[in-house]
Each structure stands twice: as structure tokens, then as C-alpha cells.
Amino acid sequence: MSPRHIPHAGLVEVGGLRLPFLAEGEPRRLDGSTVVFPAGQVSLLHPFGDTDFYRHGWNSWGPSGWRRLSGPPLRIEGSPERLLTADDARNDTPAAHSGSAVGALASPDRQTTLLLGALGLGAPRVGATTTCLWGTQEVPAGEWLLAVGEESAVFGTYAAAVAERLGHGRNRAGRVWSSWYSQYEDIDEPGLRGLVADLRGYPFDVIQVDDGWERLVGDWQANAKFPSGMAGLGRTITDAGFRAGLWLAPFIALPGADVVRDHPDWWVRDDDGSPLVAGYNWGSPYYCLDTTRPAVRDHLARVFTEAMGWGFTYFKLDFVYAAALAGVRSADVHREQAYRDAVAWIRQVVGDDVYLLGSGVPMLPSAGIFDGVRTGPDVMAFWDNAERPHDPSGVGAKNAMRASLHRRWLRPLYETDPDAVYFRRRRSLLDDTQRQAVQDVATILGFKATSDPIAWLDPSEREELRAWLTADETITQTGRYAYVLDGRPVDLSWVADDAYAPSPSTNAG
Ligand code: 9PG
């Protein structure tokens, strides 16, 4: 856009509202309640005044939910490191309400929702004030959908329009056992063999080995705790009758990794020419591969070809947002396009039938490539995060469930994974109400996973696990946070936002 660029002014009538706008051109009408604006910037005046705004996090861990415009915005505050890791730090608005790709305003009586959502990449941002709903893009890479109507209908219309442009997943995960939420990084070959043996006969489809198997993040070879190599473990899992799944963070590396030492030129750079710090975890900053380099693409192809050779056909790809950060790459391509090209390349390497679960994925640019995506921060066997109680992206069941309840509308694009369910009461601080809520959210989101070792469950918990894994519930939504599951009313308002209802639980704080 040149500095003298003058946007187009007009008035759009949609869903019974008359909205003055500034945009790159006239909107195109799809039907009485939906119009499409050209790529670029768009601003609309709205009549709702001080009302609730839906903001959407950029990646899996970024906060999503409704907030009153006159109150503080929903965002990650007070920690630049967490903001960099869990949301779109570059477009953060500390004093204003905004989120990534899509935003919506509820009329004060909640009868009407006005949604503005991006239909393409370019790091689209949507924000609102009590008079204005605005959308911006770093580059004009896609049109905008404006929809007016009942809340779940407008989100459904938006998700369908994104699916039409960017595609949707095709594989189903089935029921997943993951090592993370019981073993964390403390996994080894004998331990996993024992865990897999105990899982025999349980109705799981996938056993997914999480972080802890690799030599170092960036060096995707088995470490010394896996003396038979990953092929040995892959065989253990498939011989027990399960599909073998593996965690990888393919685009990042810790500074001490061999791949960093051996290939100093492979990394996205910051403006000073140093490797860009792409986030923080494992007590360290980490770097991100410049996926626009042919040598890096060859490297990624080798990593995945090798992992498939070990017998794994389900991959949890983590921290992948790093490939979509702003930085200096060898090719001049917008960061979200660079990301999408990189994950599309992995998809091409592994083929159509491998299940790709994304974690820490930028949500919109992942549509059409991933089969499933994590929709919130890490669930834990406790409700709230005492260390950072005001960080909506912090670990804990409350934040994880809250985030996921606000992302169920993404289901036309991919399977939505709210993270593991806990059946165990041992080694868990969740009370029975919280434990049930975690289970119900997973049922509602349609992704069933746990990490409980069978040995940690008592006979009734084992029965409950089996029953849940085999159930095929009928789910009806009756309110923003209210559902009926097989005839049982489930109102999760107390989980979704403590502004709306007090918790029925004693320590749901
Ligand atoms: C393995 C874990 C598990 C887990 C993933 C991911 O925002 N953060 O700083 C942040 C750090 C770690 C994290 C998520 C977010 O955990 O979600 O399921 O696979 O990696 O290390």
C-alpha cells in the first residue's frame, strides 16, 4: 500500500445491520447474512457499544474467548517470553482487544453475532472497540468474510468458508494414548515396553511416544535410553496391535544441538544477523530452521523418511509455529506462507495416510494440511497454574478446557484435540467435578486421548476408561457452553469463563 492509498468508503447491509465501512473495495454479497471484502484492511462501525468480543489466539496455546470491551483484553501479559511462544507477539495489542484471523462481537442481548474472519494468510488480525470492528493483514493475502447471525451459525459459516479456501484434514486419529501427561520426559525403552504391554487389549488406536526419546531437540535420533533405537520401540507398539505415534518438533533446535553446530547457515535470522530466538522451553531459548532453504527441506525429508522407516505413521508435530515467525529467510515469502509451505512439504514427504497432529500450530495456516490440532495449552493433573495464575496460556486443566471450548467451531477444518483426559485419581489434584469436566470437554471436542498408565488406575477407573473409549456419544449443543451428552445435560459455563457462573466445585478457583 502506498502512503497516499485512499480506502474505499461505503455502507454494507448484512443480516439486518447497516454498517458503514472503509475497505479496499466494495464487498461481494454471498447471501443476506454474509459478504466478502477484498484482501487488505477493513474497518466497520458497529452499533453494539460496550459488548463482548471474541478473540482468537494465533497458535494452539494462544488464548481464545469472550471478553467485555470495557474490561481488559484477553492476552498474555507480563511475559514477553511466553507471548513469543504462545501467541502472535508481533501483532499483540497490549491496550486493545484483538486476536488472530477472526474476531466477533455479540450484541448485548446475545441474539446477534457479527463476525469478521480472514480467508487467507498474511497474519490477519481482528480487533474491536465499542464503535469499530477492524481487520488488518501484514500483507494482503486473503479476503475477509463478514457474517451476521446466530453465534454458532456465523462461526460455522466462517469455518466452512476457510475449509473451502484452505482445505481440511482427512484422517482420523481414533483413540490415543500419549506418554506425556504421566511420564513427561522421563521415558525409556524398558519403561515404555511395560506401559505398552499393560495397554494391550484396551481400545486404543494409537500409542504416541512424546518428548524424551530424542538426543536433543533438533537432533532427531534415539538417545541412550532407547538402546534398540526407535525402530525397536515402533515394533513393540505395532506388535501390540497399535499404531505407533511419535512426537517431533521438526522446525526448532536447542542451541547445543549438533544440527546447529553442523549447519550454522540453516537458521532464521533476526535483524542483527544472529539466529532468531523463536521461543523458550526446556529452560532455554531455541532457534528455527529456515524452511525456505532447499538443504533444510532435504533435511526435513530425511528426518521424516527415517521416522517412518522406524514404523511410525502418526506424528505429533510440536512448536511448529516457530516456522511462521517474522525473521530473515533465504526466500522473500511472507512468514505464514513460509510456514504453510514447510508443513505442506512434510505432508508431501509422509504421504496422505500418515496422521499429522499439530501442537503449537498457527491455527489458520494449518488448515488443509494437518489432520488434527491442539486447541489449547497443556492440560495438567491440576486445575489452575499457581505459578502464573493470570496467564491464560499457562498450563493446567482450567486454561486448557477454556481455550478448547472456544475452539470447537474449528472442527470442519481438522480434528480438535483439547489434550489428555485423566482417569486416575492417584497422582492427580483434580477433584471429581474437574476430572469429569476434562472428560466432557474431550467428548465435546471429539478427540479422545489419555496418558494414564493402566497400573495407575483402580478397577473402576479402568472400567470408566474402557467405557469412554468405546462410547460414541450423541452430542447436542444447547447454549454457548451447554451441551447434552447422551441425554445428560452438561453446562460448562463455570469452566469457560468465571465471569459467567460460579464454579460448582470447591477448589475450582
Ligand atoms: C513436550 C510437550 C508436550 C505438550 C506440548 C508441548 O507455551 N509454552 O511455552 C509451551 C511449552 C511446552 C508445551 C506447550 C507450550 O508443551 O504442548 O503436549 O508434547 O510440548 O515437550
Q: Where residue 3 falls among pLDDT bands split at 50, 70, 90?
A: low
What tens digit of pLDDT does each residue of 363-413 get?
A: 999 999 999 999 999 999 999 987 777 899 999 999 999 999 999 999 999
Q: Which atom of ligand 1 is nearest to the CA of 86?
A: 7
Q: Where residue 472 falls among pLDDT bands split at 50, 70, 90?
A: very high
Cβ of residue 180 lying under 6 Å from some atom of ligand 1: yes
Asked if residue 246 lies in contact with residue 211, where contact means CB atoms within 8 angstroms, the answer is: no
Cβ of residue 281 lying under 6 Å from some atom of ligand 1: yes
CA 21 to centroid of ligand 1, rounded, Å: 41
Q: Which atom of ligand 1 is nearest to the CA of 393?
A: 7
Cβ of residue 359 lying under 6 Å from some atom of ligand 1: yes
CA 84 to centroid of ligand 1, rounded, Å: 14
Write down the residue that cell numbers 511420564 correspond to. 183
- Three cell numbers, residue 451: 496418558
Asked if residue 455 lies in contact with residue 420, where contact means CB atoms within 8 angstroms, the answer is: no
* Span between the terminal Cα atoms of the chain, in Å: 48
CA 85 to centroid of ligand 1, rounded, Å: 10
What tens digit of pLDDT does each residue of 402-455 get?
A: 999 999 999 999 999 999 999 999 999 999 999 999 999 999 999 999 999 999
The whole-angstrom separation of Cα 405 and Cα 367 is: 19
Q: How far is CA 262 from the centre of its chain?
A: 32
Q: Where residue 6 falls among pLDDT bands split at 50, 70, 90?
A: confident
Give the DSSP letter string of 309-346: HTTEEEEEEESGGGGGSS-B-SS---HHHHHHHHHHHH
Taking residue 80's Cβ as centre, other Cβ atoms within 10 Å add up to 12
CA 105 to centroid of ligand 1, rounded, Å: 31
What tens digit of pLDDT does each residue of 97-156 get?
A: 999 999 999 999 999 999 999 999 999 999 999 999 999 999 999 999 999 999 999 999
**What's the rounded mean pLDDT across residues 481-491?**
98
Cβ of residue 86 lying under 6 Å from some atom of ligand 1: yes
What tens digit of pLDDT does each residue of 151-183 get?
A: 999 999 999 999 999 999 999 999 999 999 999
Q: What is the pTM of this model?
A: 0.97
The whole-angstrom separation of Cα 250 and Cα 247 is: 9
Q: Where residue 505 falls among pLDDT bands split at 50, 70, 90?
A: very low
CA 242 to centroid of ligand 1, rounded, Å: 24
What's the pLDDT score for residue 387? 79
Closest by Cα among 54, 137, 69 to 99? 54
Q: Is the pLDDT of residue 509 over 90?
A: no
Q: Mutate which of 61, 284, 385, 387 to test ligand 1's pocket (most atoms within 8 Å of Cβ)?
A: 61
Nearest CA to ligand 1 atom 16: 378
CA 378 to centroid of ligand 1, rounded, Å: 6
Portion of the chain with pLDDT greater than 90, in percent: 95
- Three cell numbers, residue 273: 544477523
Q: Mutate which of 378, 399, 421 to test ligand 1's pocket (most atoms within 8 Å of Cβ)?
A: 378
CA 360 to centroid of ligand 1, rounded, Å: 8
Q: Is the pLDDT of residue 503 over 50?
A: no
What's the pLDDT score for residue 18? 98
Nearest CA to ligand 1 atom 4: 378
CA 174 to centroid of ligand 1, rounded, Å: 22
Asked if residue 300 lies in contact with residue 349, where contact means CB atoms within 8 angstroms, the answer is: yes
Asked if residue 334 lies in contact with residue 141, where contact means CB atoms within 8 angstroms, the answer is: yes
Q: Where residue 506 falls among pLDDT bands split at 50, 70, 90?
A: very low
What's the pLDDT score for residue 315? 99
Q: Where residue 501 falls among pLDDT bands split at 50, 70, 90?
A: very low
- Three cell numbers, residue 50: 460496550
Give the DSSP letter string of 213-267: SEEETTEEEE-TT-TTHHHHHHHHHHHTT-EEEEEE-TTEE-TTSHHHHH-TTSB
Average pLDDT of the chain, as a whole number: 96
Cβ of residue 211 lying under 6 Å from some atom of ligand 1: yes
Q: Where residue 5 falls among pLDDT bands split at 50, 70, 90?
A: confident
Closest by Cα among 81, 77, 104 to 93? 77
Portion of the chain with pLDDT greater than 70, in percent: 97
- What letter does residue 86 receive in the DSSP assignment? H
Taking residue 487's Cβ as centre, other Cβ atoms within 10 Å add up to 8
Q: Under CATH, which number does the domain 175-246+293-317+335-473 receive? A: 3.20.20.70
Q: Where residue 49 falls among pLDDT bands split at 50, 70, 90?
A: very high
Nearest CA to ligand 1 atom 21: 211
